Structures are given as C-alpha cells and as structure tokens.
Amino acid sequence: MSTFVATTIGRGGMVAMLEVQETEKPQKGEFKLSRDCVKVNLESGLFTDMTDRVNNADGKVYILTSDLEEN
C-alpha cells in the first residue's frame, strides 16, 4: 500500500506530492496527504502529473503547476 506526502524537490524547491510506501515516515517539513486531497488537487489542475519526466521515482510525482511555469 502507498500514501502521498507533500514536500519540495529540485533546485528550485518545487512543491510536490510524492507517492511513497505507507511505512515511510515523513521527513522534516513533509506532510502526509489523503488520497482525496491528492485527487482534488489533480482534478482542479493545481498539480500536474510529472511521473514520466522524473528519474528514480518509486511512485507518482505531481508538481505544483505554477512552479512548472516558473522553472
């Protein structure tokens, strides 16, 4: 089973929702997200699926759309 965490990634500090193993503990500054939270943010267009463009990801990677436009 997996869960999602909110975190920042990359040199530009882009806001991301990352799919991780359920047993993984959030690091400092990360927060667990419900699947409903992830779903609403994707459906609204607030986050963009970047899974296919990221290396070494264990699961889905969603990046804040406005961060993608800035970087």
Q: What gap in Å lies between CA 33 and CA 4, rounded to an integer?
A: 5
For residue 55, is pLDDT > 90? Answer: no
Query: What is the count of structural domains for the chain?
Result: 1
pLDDT value at position 69? 86
Could you tell me the pTM of the whole model? 0.90
pLDDT, mean over the chain: 93
Beta-bridge partners for 3: 20
Question: Which range of residues forms the domain containing residue 45?
Answer: 2-70
Q: What gap in Å lies between CA 10 and CA 42, rounded to an integer?
A: 20
Q: φ, ψ for residue 14 (rounded to 5)?
A: -70, 140
pLDDT confidence of 11, banded at 50, 70, 90?
confident
The identity of residue 66, as a single letter, is S
The residue-averaged pLDDT of 59-70 equals: 94
